[in-house]
Every structure is written in structure tokens, then in C-alpha cells.
A and B are shown apart, each in its own frame.
Chain A
Amino acid sequence: MGENGAGKSTLMKILYGMQKPDEGTIIVNGVPMAFATPAAAISAGIGMVHQHFMLAENLTVLENVVLGSEPRRGIVLARRAARARIEEISASYGLGIRPDALVADLGVGDRQRVEIGKVLFRGARILILDEPTAVLVPQEVDELFANLRELKSEGLTVIFISHKLDEVLKVADAITVIRRGTTVASVKPADVTARDLARLMVGSELPVPGLRESTRTDHTQLTVVGLTALTSDGRPAVDDVSLSVCRGEIVGIAGVEGNGQAELVESVMGMRPAERGRILLDGTDITDWSTRARREAGIAYVPADRQRHGLLLESPLWENRALGHQTRPPNAKGPFIDRAGARRDCERIARTYDVRTPSVDVPASVLSGGNQQKLIVGREMSDGPTVLIAAHPTRGVDVGAQAAIWDQLRAARSAGLAVLLISADLDELIGMSDTLWVLLRGRLVAQVDPGRVTPHELGCAMTGARDGQ
């Protein structure tokens, strides 16, 4: 484990043959190895389960598992042999993979098991799991850990990468902490607490999401009334949702991914048309406004997928500073882009939000995930927003950056910002929300008291286990 930008991903890329080491050796089962390509790593028994699933939705589980290493009879896919192998793997490691299910129909947890099955199918004995719990709810995390224990008992080695200290403590037999590209400690979970680990990782205390006294005002800044929005195939993804966010208030939305969070955010941002219902900003009906008009009116947006929706990866940081704010000072002067202004202000953001970069001229793609996120948060907090739509603001971000982002949310909240917070991190939702809603199948099914609810209860409400809807 380690902070974002500590070098975890680089290390894993080297182990998996995606990048060449400058010096040092890799020893697998006592034999020094050098991997030029992932194929070489795979043949040495190393497999990688990526954070973002690499599955073809319109293929079956079987087809996904064999893709790229198809057992063949002549030029024909040996389906029967493949099925037998998959079922054998599934049974011996307790994965519960159904070879004929369509991946598009599977939930997140199932998809992850398919990814693990895929790696095992290629004969991996050493599994690298990159942030595997980022997309899971607590119950699914427990299932994953059960799978991992099964793998372990069958003699496989698992490298588990996570930012979540308690998870690492729960599942690991040995923990290595790296910071700024070097090992700072190798410890046994029995000998350390989460607090110790956090200190090792960032040299500071473990951050706790939490709010002090209420800063909520009676002034409603954002109102959503009876909002219904459709998926591209015409089903209601957001179904008659009504909520309001006051100045100085953080309203949290809990829900298993794919229950309409993305569509709700897109509707509020004007990127997805509202089928029914209205959206009001400080009393003004903005339902028909364009995304740009909404942004100019003071709605800031931290998108869930920062690389896809939040950044121009090939563009320099200062251009990314202007993205989404390209019509306003300090980024624009009349019809022109104010290059000097954007650059200066980007330097300010880098300073204030601790974006670690040698200059604002490097492309965004070279920053680590945490630093990219800090840039986005800094940008969206700039230019005087009145509403912030924050989708997974600390996903895949190390504890240091997480604490900083929470601090900024708190500060902005006490300065009167109205925040709509969507997150998969239940501790974050419970700790940071003044008001907390549960979104299930596009509907707000419950409002829970963030002061009293436990992550487990919230997890149950999110899966519909409690109210049976």
C-alpha cells in the first residue's frame, strides 16, 4: 500500500511487464526474471486484475474468459474444453462463475470474479489486484475477501493494492508500505493498527471524514422536483427524484453503482435531458439550460470518471485549468483564451491544492490519479461556485489527498457552498453528509440519519435488503 503517486502502479506495471525497470531484479520462485511484455509475465504465472474491468459486455462470461488465449480445435473454439476448465476453476476457488451468462447482465461483484477467473484461466499463480474494492459495497467486499482466502488456501499468491487501511489489515498476511517510490516499511498486520499504517504512508494521522457544527442555511440553492431521466435505450434511470440542497449543506446520495447516480448527475449538469420534472437553481428554472449556461451560473462539477470526463489528458495542466471554465476569467478575455491568466491561476491551484507537478506545462496524463483529482477539485472550487456536484471526489485518491479534499469540502460548505455528494465510500458519505439519501433503481427509497446509521445498515438499504423494494 501507499499514497497515490507513491509508485504502486509503476511497481505493478514493472511486475506485469508493462514497463521496464532501470535497475534491480525481480525474483519469481527463486529465479531472477525480466519481463519485456505482459505476455512474458503471464507465462511466468503472474496475472493482473485491473481496477477498471476489461470485459466485453456483449460477450458471454465464457467468451470473455478465453478471449486472447482461446483453446482451439483447428480454427474452432473448443467450447466444451473451455467450459470444463472454467467450471473447474470456478469450483475449486469458489468463484461461482456462470460461463453462459452475458457480461452485460452481471453486477460489479460478478464481473470482478470473471476478471479473476480470466487470470486464473491463463494459469496465473501470482495475482495482482489493483484497488479491487474501489467499486464494491461492503457485502461484496466480504465476498471478495472470502474468494481471496480460497485462492490463498489453494497455494496462490495475491498482491492486493488498496488505499483502505482496514481492508488491508483484514485481508493481508504481510504489508509493504511504499512512499515516494521507496519501501518505508514491511510489517505484519498483527503488529500494526490502521493509525500506524496511515502514519507510515503519509507521515500523518488517519483522516476521518466528519463535519463539525451544522452550517446549513434555510436558503435552498438547488432543487430537483420529480426528475425522471431515461437511459439511452429508453428505460427510466432516474425515476421521480425530488431533493433539495441548501447553502452550507452537503447532501449525500448512497447507492450501489448503476442505480441512477450517473444519470442523476448528468441531468443536473444538463448533459442528459430531463424526461419529466424540473431543476431549479436558487429559484430559477434551469431545466432547459445548456451545460455551459449551468456552469456559468455557478454549478461546479467533479465528475466520477476524472480521466474521461474531467480532463484533457494530452493537454497541459493550465488548459485543463480552463476546461469547463473556458468562458470566464481568469481563463478567458472576450472571445479569446487568456493564456497568461489561466496559467497563473493554475499555478495558484497547484500551490494551494498541493498538486505535485514540476510545472503547469506538463500534460495531465503524467500526473498520478490523486494529483489529477486535486487539480480537478481545485479547479471546480475556483471561479465562485454556488453549487458543487461531487461524484466520487476521493475515489482512488490516497489518504493525504483525501483529507485535503474533505477539508476543502468542509471549508467550502461553511462558506455557503451547496454540495451534492455521490460516493461509493460509505464512511465518506456518512461522515460528510448533512442529509443522506439512498438511491435504488433510480428512486430515492430512504433518507437515513448520517449521525446514526452504520456502514452495514447503509449497505443493506442500498441493496434493498431492508425495505424489500
Chain B
Amino acid sequence: MSPLPKQVLPALVAPALALAFATLISALVLLTSGADPLLTFNSMLDFGVRPDQVVNTVNQATTYYLAALAVAVGFRMNLFNIGVDGQYRLAALLAAYLGGAVSLPAPLHIALIFLVAMAVGAAWASIAAVLKVRRGVSEVISTIMLNAIATALGAYLLSTWLSVPVAGSNNIGTKPIGFSGQIPGLPFPGTSNRIFGLVFAAVLVGVGYHVLVSRTRFGFDLRATGLSTPAAVASGVHVRRMVLVTMGISGGIAGLIGMPQLLGSSHSYSLDFPAGLGFAGIGIALLGRNNPIGIAFGSLLFGFLDQSSQILDLEGIPKEIVAIMQATLVLSVVSAYEMVRRIRLRQQQRQVGAGPAAAPPAPGAPPDAGRSGSGGPA
């Protein structure tokens, strides 16, 4: 029933080899820039496994995970939501403002913030969806444009209507969300840093993503559209509706990206709210091959690289080396997957060519018709 280990193995070997390849390339870059690769990797590893950095890695991975899922759900139907970045920032800003403006019992308060964030993310993404189904505008172009608009709109709203000065700095931000709208973190031995409470929510979203895409009729339609739009149309999929709904779901998940940070740590949206997570999500979704488990590993890996690279500045090594490593990783993993796919296809072709395991020719009688054929040769 389930795939044989023989088929699973290459799926694991491929990313491992790609990781080794990316490391090699990074080592070469380090060598040419005059740094010792072994020393560099060693100090990154030492630093990265310190308890406080482990917590940071997990926290970073939590937001990356949500970002990658938001991208992946569109990828599964060949819908490229490049606008996750703008969607989550706008969503976080408005959710933070509203969360700071009201005071409600804890579950309601949190639920309201979530709802607003998801609705804003979905609404912003829907602009691109409507443009696509009504006017045929490529969602790649429109979502990129909408990112720029979201940045400007967010800055305008924050600087004029939604902000209060942050005490003791030049920063401005929304009014902090009250205690009832905060989600406490989890302690981790050996550090005072806390793991985002919403790490569990991220896991839940991952499970939900898997069920939705791989188990439901909706997910079947979604994947069918991605694999072959003409075949999906012939099978009865309403593609334009699928574009609208899927873009909404993608934007809705994007709305959640800022929540772990907002509810778990900063409690307000200010000028230094993390940016660029949407773009990282694109790379991680590719890295994890749109698979919820794969994306989880990809998020942790990216989070780890981000955190452990902090030490490099102290060693006098440019930490941009990590960006090179991440990019090489994505490229080599994608190529490795493609290679594995082709090898498997060839294996299966050979298997089919070798002849069927079963199925002797049956008399031509479709059981649904319920009677035997009129006796022609079969």
C-alpha cells in the first residue's frame, strides 16, 4: 500500500547530497574570501547549539514555517503568491492596532486578533486573485506590485493613524496589546529566552495544510489544477473559483506569519517588525517541496543558519555567506529532486515494460453495464 522504502530512500538522499553540495560551495566561497571554512562552520555549529540560540532558531523556524505553508498552498496549484510578504506585514499591522485598541476576555481577544490578521491577509491576496480571474493579470506581477503598495500603505498608516511613540526611542509602533491578547512562551532549560507559544499553532496549520491538500476533495481539485489545468477543467474543476479560494487561503495563512512574534514577544507592530519573511518562505517551500514535513525541516535549517551566522561578525567573517549557502541549498535541492524524479520515472517505466504483475485479459464486459459484451474478440 504505502510506498516502498526503496522509493522513499532517494527522497531523503537527494536533500542530504544537496546540503553537502551547498556546504561545499559555501566553503569555496569562504576560501576565496580568505576565511577558513572548517573554522567558520565549527564556530557556527558551536554557537548555534547554545540554548538561547536553539530557542531563537525554533522561533525563527515557526514564522518561516507559516510563511512557507502560505506559499506552498498556492504552489500546489501553480499559483505563485509572491505577495506573502506584503500580506503578512499589513495583516500584522492592522491586527496589532485592533488588538491594542480593544480589551476582551483572553480567548476572545486572541481569536479576534487572529481573525483580523487572516482576513486582512486574505483580502490583500484576493486583490491579485480578482485581477487574475477578471483581467488575466499574472499573479506573479500583481503580488510583487502589491508588496510595494503594502509597504508604502503600512508605513503611511503606521506613521499617521495607528501609532503611538515607543518610550525611550525614535521608534514608533501600535499601542501594545493588553495581557489578555498575549500568548506566553515556553521556558527552555539553560536560557531565559522563551519559545513562542504559537509554535503549536504552526504545527496545527501544518497538519491542516496536509489534510486540506492531500485528503480532501478540494485539495484534489487544487492539485489537479496545478498538475494539468485542461484536465482539471475537463474533470469539472471551476478554475477561476479555485484561484479565488486558494489565493484567499494562501493570504489567510500569510496573515498568521506575524502572530507568533506579535502575540508572543513584541505585542505591538513597530518599525522594526521582522520583514522579508514572505520571501524566505518561497525558498523554504521549494526546499521542502511543498511537503509539510519537508517544509518543517527546511524552516529549522534556515532558522539555524540565520541564528548561527550571528557569531560570524565577531569572527570578522561576513555573515552574508549564509545567504549564499541558503540560495545554493535551494538551487541544489530543487535540481536534486528533479534528478530523483527522472530516475524514479525511468525505474517505473522499466517496471511497466517488464510486464504486468497481474491482470490477465478479461472478457470485455464493463461490470457497470451489468451484462456481457456482444461477443466480439477481446
Contact = CB atoms under 8 A, between A and B. Distances in A.
Interface of A: 7, 10, 180-181, 204-205, 207-208, 210-212, 269, 271, 290-296, 301, 303, 305, 308-315, 319, 322-327, 332, 335-337, 339, 343, 348, 350-359, 361-363, 365-368, 378, 381-385, 400, 403-404, 406-408, 410-412, 414-415, 417
B373 A411 contact: yes
A310 B348 contact: no
Given A337-B216, A400-B378, 20 more contacts: A10-B353, A180-B355, A181-B353, A207-B376, A295-B235, A309-B233, A313-B227, A322-B220, A326-B220, A326-B224, A332-B217, A336-B215, A343-B1, A352-B365, A357-B359, A363-B345, A366-B351, A381-B369, A404-B361, A414-B369
14 contacts: A181-B353, A212-B374, A308-B228, A309-B233, A310-B231, A310-B234, A315-B223, A332-B217, A352-B366, A354-B378, A358-B356, A366-B349, A381-B366, A408-B364
Interface string B232-264: 011111100000000000000000000000000
Nearest to B218: A335
Contact of A381 (B221, B228, B368, B376): B368
Nearest to A350: B359
Contacts of A404: 361, 364, 378
Contacts of A312: 223-224, 227-228, 231
Contacts of B362: 351-354
Interface string B279-298: 00000000000000000000
Given A350-B359, A363-B345, A417-B369, A309 B231 contact: yes
Contacts of B160: none
Given A326-B220, A336-B215, A381-B369, A204 B377 contact: yes
Contact of B228 (A10, A313, A336, A417): A313
B369 A309 contact: no
Contacts of B216: 335-337
A404 B359 CA distance: 14
B32 interface: no
B352 A362 contact: yes
A309 B378 contact: no
A351 B358 contact: yes
A290 B238 contact: yes
B219 interface: yes
Contact of A354 (B236, B359, B369, B371): B359
Given A355-B359, A363-B345, A403 B236 contact: no
B345 A411 contact: no
- The 7 tightest CB contacts between A and B, nearest first, are A407-B364, A292-B236, A324-B235, A415-B369, A407-B373, A309-B234, A291-B236
Given A292-B236, A355-B359, A408 B373 contact: yes
Contact of B376 (A180, A355, A410): A410
A315 B232 CA distance: 12
B235 to A, nearest CB: 4
B373 A366 contact: no
B369 A326 contact: no
Contacts of B367: 348, 352
A294 B359 CA distance: 32
Contacts of B230: 305, 308-309
B3 interface: yes
Nearest to A352: B362
Given A337-B220, A363-B348, A404-B364, A323 B373 contact: no
A358 B352 contact: yes
Q: Is the interface of B mostly helix, strand, loop or mixed?
A: loop
B136 interface: no
Contacts of B348: 362-363, 366
Contact of A411 (B223, B231, B352, B365): B365
Given A378-B366, A404-B378, A415 B228 contact: no
Contact of A292 (B3, B227, B237, B353): B237
Interface residues of B, number: 50
B189 interface: no
A350 B356 CA distance: 10
B220 A356 contact: no
A301 B377 contact: no
A269 B241 CA distance: 18
Nearest to A291: B236
B77 to A, nearest CB: 12
A323 B223 CA distance: 11
A378 B366 CA distance: 7
B235 A271 contact: no
Nearest to B367: A352
B358 A269 contact: no
B355 A359 contact: no
A293 B237 CA distance: 10
A208 B375 CA distance: 12
A357 B356 contact: yes
A337 B224 CA distance: 13
B359 A410 contact: no
Contacts of A212: 374
A406 B365 CA distance: 10
Nearest to A293: B236
Nearest to B227: A312
A363 B352 CA distance: 10
Contacts of A310: 231, 234
A417 B368 CA distance: 11
**Residue from B1, B220, B345, B372 with most neighbouring chain A CB atoms (10 Å):** B220
Contact of A414 (B238, B354, B374): B374
Contacts of B364: 403-404, 407-408, 411
A54 B235 CA distance: 27
Nearest to A324: B235
B233 A407 contact: no
B238 A337 contact: no
A451 B2 CA distance: 52
B110 to A, nearest CB: 27
Contacts of A353: 362, 366
A313 B231 CA distance: 10
B181 to A, nearest CB: 33
B357 interface: yes
